[in-house]
Structures are given as C-alpha cells and as structure tokens.
Chain A
C-alpha cells in the first residue's frame, strides 16, 4: 500500500472517530509503528490532526465533522478533557441514574457516556442533552428553566430536580482550593449544585487543573464534602497530597496504556 493511500484511510478513520491510536493503525495496516508515526507527523504538518500520547486527535474545526457542542479551538484543553471523560466512563454501572451539570468538560463526559446502555441522565445543559439525542439506548431528562450560557438555571430548574433520586452526579465547578472550598461564578449555579448534592448518593467534582488554588464568586461547599474529584494528571503534586489527606478520592486522567 502506498503512503498516500494509507494516509487517506487514516483521515477517514479520524473523521469518524475523532481519535486514533498508533498501535491500532500499525496492526490495521501491518506496518511498523515508526511508519505510522511518520504518517501522523505528515498529517499533523498538514494541519489535519494533532498528535497526542500514543496516537492523534482530529483537528478539523469547520464543517460538520465536529459537533458544535465541543470547543476545539484549544487543543491542549480538549485533549485533557477527553482523557478526563475516558476515566469518567467507568465511574458508573449500566442502568444507573446519573446527573451531568453544565460545563465544557461535562459535555465530553456526556459524549463518552452516550455509548453506554440503559442510563437515565438528568442535565441542565442543552449541549449535554444534544449528545444524548442520538443515543437511543439511554434516557435523557432535560430540566427546565431559564437559559443562561447554554444551560438552564433558576427556581424552575430546582423545582424540577426536587423529585429525582440520583445515583451519581458529575458536577463541573469553576474554582477549588483547600482554604476556600469549592466555588462557582454565579449564585444560580451555586444553589443549583447545592440542591443537586441533596438529591445524590455519590458526587464527583469535575474540573481542570487550572481551577485548583483559585477562588470564584460563590462558595458551594468545603473541599472534603464531595466523594470524588476528577481532573487531569497535570495537577500539581501539592494539591494531590492535600486532597488525599482530606479523605477525598482523587482521580486523574492517567492515560498511559496504549492498546
């Protein structure tokens, strides 16, 4: 097979799957990993993809290739969020009732979870709802309310939430620190999350490493209140230690093993 042919197939595969691994391509084409890495290097120089650990992700920003829910302008953040979503996939079992609050990382978690079975998903984020709109194996419940930055908030949303029992909630927040706990940027968001806590058995706080050590406008709860914190592996060591000592499970997206 010629290199150009191989690269065309890689492109097609990427458009379909957004992500591909070196090992998979090397077995698919029965060529060495070095050859595949060279192909990916060429495609990266064309601006088609971005190489990541063990593979590559799609770079295309225009057209219908990428759903509008995902912001692909910041490649590094997108990659972190994708890895976080990979870990979140195994937080829950099939058939559970889960909640996904509004947020950019949570949208990628939603995309990943949409491939699971028999979930019931509550959300106040219209993009999260969009991710599940094509997934017929799961049931989606969109909480009503007043629209603010692609998500629904207010008394109406909270009244809606009142009647549900949730197994596991993925709650994306804006800032987190030992001294000031967990905080978000608006009062509506804070009270929505506080109410979500009361309806949920297991809560997972989702955030990016940049959010650690910062403070936002409204405090939601103390750092040791949630059961789990899920973030990316680039988190500074001192935060890892602090969270472990607060008796909270810390998950970092340690994506190492290449299948």
Chain B
C-alpha cells in the first residue's frame, strides 16, 4: 500500500491515571483499523492523540508522510480528523437536517448567515433516500432512539471532509438491520480514501468490516492482525493472552452460608430472570460487555433501579429493597462506577464524606462528638494511605484513586455486610488499586460478602471466588474461578452478543 495516512512512532504519554507506552501504529487511506481492548486500556487517550487533541510526551506522529513538528500541523491534523464518541452530544436544540449538515450549512447569502432551508431540507431528503435512513426530516431530535442518534453521527462523518475518522464504540447495542446502514456508509468512506479507526468490543463487527485489528492492553499494543487471514479464534487468543496472572492479592478465607439470594430478578427489559446467590466471605465477580446490564444489576440490588423479583432474601429472611435507604438498613453498600456523581458530597470535606454513613456511632445523646469523629476518620484515612491536604480541601481536589478509597472507607466505617463494587478500579492508579484489593481482602476476612462488577477480566480472575457472565439479558455462567479460563469468559460474553444481533 501507499504511504500511511497517519503513523505513530513510539508514542508515550502519561496522565494521572493512564500510561501509554511506546505505541507504534499506522492507518492507511481506505482502511478500517479496529482497536480492541478492555475499558481503561488507553484506547480513548490514544485516539485523542490521533486527532491532535492531546500532545504526546514523547515519540512522533507522521501525517501523510510528514512528521508533525509545529502547531500549524497539529491544527491541520485536528481539522482533518473527526472523533465521534458514543456519548458525544447531538445538538438537541437543532432539527435533524441542521444536525446532519452542521458543518456544511447551505447559505442564501453567506455574509448575512441566512440559511437556505429549502436547500437544506432537499439535501437531507436526498441523503435519507440514498441510505434509507430510519427517520424523517421532521422528527424531533429528542424523540430519536439511541440507534438513530448513532446513525446521525455516522452520517455526519460521511458528509464531512475528514480524512481520519475515529468511531469510538459507536455501535454497540445496535440491531443488525441498523448496522447495515452503517456498513454501507463505512464502505463509502473507505472508497473516498478516508482512514477509519474503529473501536469496538464486538468480535462480529471486527470480522465483518475490519481490515486490520489491533489489541491494546494496559497502555501497550499487544499485536496487530490482518482480519482476512485471521480467524475469530486468533483474535480471542490475542485478547485473552495473559500478561499478568499472579499479581492480585487473594486470601483463602473459608466461605460460609448464603447471605444474599435473589430469584427471578427482572428490570426494565434489560435484565431477565436473574438468579443470584452470595455466601458469607465470598467474592462474586460479574462481567459482561458494555451495555450488558452490569451497572443496572448493581443498582437493582441497591434499590436504586426499578425491578421485580420473586424472592429477595438476606440471611434467609425475605426483605423488600426498593430504595438505597432500605438497602443500607439491610447492610448492603454500593461503590458506584460514577463515583463523582453518585457517591461524593462536593461541599463536604473528606472527613464528613467518610463519616457520612456512620454518624450515629459518634453521637452522645443529641450531639455529634466531632473530636472522636475526626480521630476515627483519621485512622481510616491513614490506613488507606490517603494523603492529607489542607482541611478546607473539597473531596474533589483529591486524585481519583484517593476519592475511590474515601468512598470505600465510608462504607467500611459504616460496617455494612454486603459490598457491591461497580468497576472499583477503573481510571485509578496502580498503588490505589493495590490498596483497594487489599481492603477487599480485609473485608472478606471479617466475614463481609462482596460482588464485583468489572469489565477487567484479569481483575475478575485474580480477585474473585466465583464468576458470573452477563449476556443476552441474563447470567449465562456461574462457575468457580478455578473451573473456568479467561478465554471461556471472553467467549461467553462475545458469543451471546452474536445471538442477540
């Protein structure tokens, strides 16, 4: 092939939470280059570098064969690239035609900014007819479903002049018929000579549209395969190759009787007939692809999402948990994935945040003994290695690892009996990860039971006693960790997404 459109040479970049090491990657015109890797492996950071949004610490980028050296070239790169993310916003206040042609608005008189709406509408109608798009020009943006919004995004890519197009996990959860439209548009983009980075978790998509696939893990490239000459199994092998097998601390705590048993849990059409059992001192890992309902399941168990269940027992007694308040009363704690929004109080300092769920321990009749409160919280903060900052620092001033440790400390101080961790170590530094794993060891030693929702399968394999895989709206696996391999888990979660589509 010709010169690569974009070429990375030994790119390294470190941020507070992530590191990219010696990335060498290239993208040719007319190619779909698929990137796969677990959440937190550094894909998005790499893509931000690719579109000129972030500067690398070391290494160099070649754009159309030219080494990027000055600001003007970086600007050129960012103008020529289009980065579309799953969560990047559609402009809700504008109509569908305005959204589609945002960059290419037809004007009657350019100077007066007077938009030629008739032309806009006719252009839009042509586009809809050409690709058989599942909406009309008169639909309201806010009425569109998830899939339709993703289609608008890919259409914007089609209409743009961008030569580098980055599609960051745009199409997970789309039906096959909806994907057909995308594949047609992708083909058009390829024949136009655009290079496409395509991030996905779905193996089927890779086989269908990918030209090459590159696996990223922990900020390093693990290998690139030609899709034509590789089988699904080759990709699974590369995905599941073990790079760390041994570095997760795990104790052999004797497992006791059942503390939590849930039968036939259903929730908003995403979770169907989930049966779950958790024993004293046990660590249950729940994994599955993005969108498989991990977070929803965690929220259901904490009474934070609507659900129905034929039976919900804690310590052998039927309970009804319809709010977080009732969950906490029954000894359930949730460390949510979105900790900034759901588990921290911005206007309280770290002491008050940590002590929040255990205030009653420090009450003497009607007052709070704040001296003992501070003493106790200090113990937790010191044991958890949370550095001391000025007393008036907000909890948001701490690093993400320390924020997460503070959230966990809050529940440990509250002496809850069942801990649910949703992505406990996502986006945090390694030292804090180790602290969190060791605190989990401490919890099970004290007879606490734990559910860990995680997309990091190494973490699940390293920390848990038992693993359940969420796919196809239900739990498709419930095995002791010694009876299952990483490859099995990946296959289970990928396979079922195939059936779904």
B401 to chain A, nearest CB (A): 9
B494 to chain A, nearest CB (A): 26
* 0/1 interface trace, chain A 203-236, chain B, CB 8 Å (1 if under): 0000000000000000000000001100001100
CB of B252 within 8 A of CB of A90, answer yes
The answer to whether B308 has its CB under 8 Å from any CB of chain A is no
The answer to whether B441 has its CB under 8 Å from any CB of chain A is yes
**C-alpha gap A93/B431 in the complex (Å):** 28
Please, which residues of chain B bring their CB within 8 A of the CB of A93? 252
Please, which residues of chain A bring their CB within 8 A of the CB of B435? 233, 240, 252, 254
A interface residue count range (under 10 / 10 to 19 / 20 to 34 / 35 or more): 35 or more
Please, which residues of chain A bring their CB within 8 A of the CB of B441? 87, 90, 251, 254
* 0/1 interface trace, chain B 240-274, chain A, CB 8 Å (1 if under): 00001111111111000000000000000000000
**C-alpha gap A203/B252 in the complex (Å):** 15
User: Which residue of chain A has its CB nearest to the CB of B440?
Assistant: A254
With A245-B430, A247-B246, A257-B446 in contact, do A233 and B385 touch (Cβ < 8 Å)?
yes
B residues 354-407 in Cβ contact with A at 8 Å: 361-364, 369, 372, 375-376, 379-380, 382-385
Please, which residues of chain A bring their CB within 8 A of the CB of B409? 256
The answer to whether A187 has its CB under 8 Å from any CB of chain B is no
Which of A32-40, A62-70, A125-133, A136-144 is the interface stretch? A32-40
User: Which residue of chain B has its CB nearest to the CB of A258?
Assistant: B415
CB of A91 within 8 A of CB of B443, answer no
With A240-B431, A245-B430, A252-B434 in contact, do A90 and B253 touch (Cβ < 8 Å)?
yes
Please, which residues of chain A bring their CB within 8 A of the CB of B385? 233-234, 237
Q: Give the contacting residue for A255; candidates B248, B249, B383; CB below 8 A.
A: B383
Please, which residues of chain B bring their CB within 8 A of the CB of A251? 249, 438, 441
Please, which residues of chain B bring their CB within 8 A of the CB of A252? 249, 434-435, 438
A residues 64-117 in Cβ contact with B at 8 Å: 86-87, 89-93
A19 to chain B, nearest CB (A): 15
The answer to whether A120 has its CB under 8 Å from any CB of chain B is no
CB of A254 within 8 A of CB of B384, answer yes
CB of A37 within 8 A of CB of B434, answer no
B interface residue count range (under 10 / 10 to 19 / 20 to 34 / 35 or more): 35 or more
The answer to whether A134 has its CB under 8 Å from any CB of chain B is no
Q: Which of A93, A228, A244 has the most CB of B within 10 A?
A: A244
CB of B434 within 8 A of CB of A257, answer no
Please, which residues of chain B bring their CB within 8 A of the CB of A200? none
A residues 163-206 in Cβ contact with B at 8 Å: none
The answer to whether A118 has its CB under 8 Å from any CB of chain B is no
A169 to chain B, nearest CB (A): 16
CB of B384 within 8 A of CB of A92, answer no
With A86-B445, A244-B433 in contact, do A249 and B246 touch (Cβ < 8 Å)?
yes
Q: Which of B249, B369, B412 has the most CB of A within 10 A?
A: B249
B residues 131-174 in Cβ contact with A at 8 Å: none
**C-alpha gap A93/B251 in the complex (Å):** 10
CB of B430 within 8 A of CB of A257, answer no
The answer to whether B330 has its CB under 8 Å from any CB of chain A is no
CB of A34 within 8 A of CB of B415, answer no
Please, which residues of chain B bring their CB within 8 A of the CB of A37? 372, 375
A100 to chain B, nearest CB (A): 17
**C-alpha gap A199/B66 in the complex (Å):** 59
B369 to chain A, nearest CB (A): 5
**C-alpha gap A92/B250 in the complex (Å):** 11
User: Which residue of chain A has its CB nearest to the CB of B435?
Assistant: A254
B residues 402-433 in Cβ contact with A at 8 Å: 409, 412, 415, 429-431, 433
Q: Give the contacting residue for B364; candidates A32, A246, A253, A255; CB below 8 A.
A: A32
**C-alpha gap A92/B252 in the complex (Å):** 7
Please, which residues of chain B bring their CB within 8 A of the CB of A10? none
User: Which residue of chain B has its CB nearest to the CB of A251?
Assistant: B249
User: Which residue of chain A has its CB nearest to the CB of B446?
Assistant: A257
Please, which residues of chain A bring their CB within 8 A of the CB of B253? 90
User: Which residue of chain A has its CB nearest to the CB of B438?
Assistant: A254
A200 to chain B, nearest CB (A): 16
User: Which residue of chain B has its CB nearest to the CB of A241?
Assistant: B430
With A33-B361, A240-B431 in contact, do A227 and B379 touch (Cβ < 8 Å)?
no
A43 to chain B, nearest CB (A): 16
Q: Give the contacting residue for A247; candidates B247, B362, B383; CB below 8 A.
A: B247
**C-alpha gap A256/B443 in the complex (Å):** 8
The answer to whether B439 has its CB under 8 Å from any CB of chain A is yes
Please, which residues of chain A bring their CB within 8 A of the CB of B379? 53-54
The answer to whether B286 has its CB under 8 Å from any CB of chain A is no
**C-alpha gap A188/B337 in the complex (Å):** 51
The answer to whether B448 has its CB under 8 Å from any CB of chain A is yes
The answer to whether B95 has its CB under 8 Å from any CB of chain A is no
Q: Which of B376, B442, B446 has the most CB of A within 10 A?
A: B442
B501 to chain A, nearest CB (A): 37
B residues 212-263 in Cβ contact with A at 8 Å: 244-253
**C-alpha gap A85/B385 in the complex (Å):** 20
CB of B252 within 8 A of CB of A247, answer no
A244 to chain B, nearest CB (A): 5
Please, which residues of chain A bring their CB within 8 A of the CB of B248? 249
The answer to whether A5 has its CB under 8 Å from any CB of chain B is no
**C-alpha gap A253/B252 in the complex (Å):** 15
**C-alpha gap A211/B434 in the complex (Å):** 19
Please, which residues of chain A bring their CB within 8 A of the CB of B447? 259
CB of B442 within 8 A of CB of A259, answer no
**9 smallest beta-carbon distances between A and B, as pairs:** A237-B431, A90-B251, A254-B438, A53-B379, A240-B431, A257-B446, A241-B430, A240-B434, A251-B249
Please list 20 pairs of residues, one from A and one from B, whose beta carbons are closer than 8 Å in the complex, sorted by A's number.
A34-B362, A37-B372, A53-B380, A87-B441, A233-B385, A237-B429, A237-B431, A238-B431, A240-B430, A244-B430, A249-B246, A249-B250, A252-B435, A252-B438, A254-B383, A256-B383, A257-B442, A257-B445, A258-B415, A259-B447
Could you list 5 further interchain pairs (A-B, Cβ under 8 angstroms) beyond the known A241-B434, A251-B249?
A92-B252, A227-B246, A250-B249, A251-B438, A254-B383
Residues of chain A whose beta carbon lies under 8 Å from any beta carbon of chain B: 23, 32-35, 37, 53-54, 86-87, 89-93, 227-228, 233-234, 237-238, 240-241, 243-259
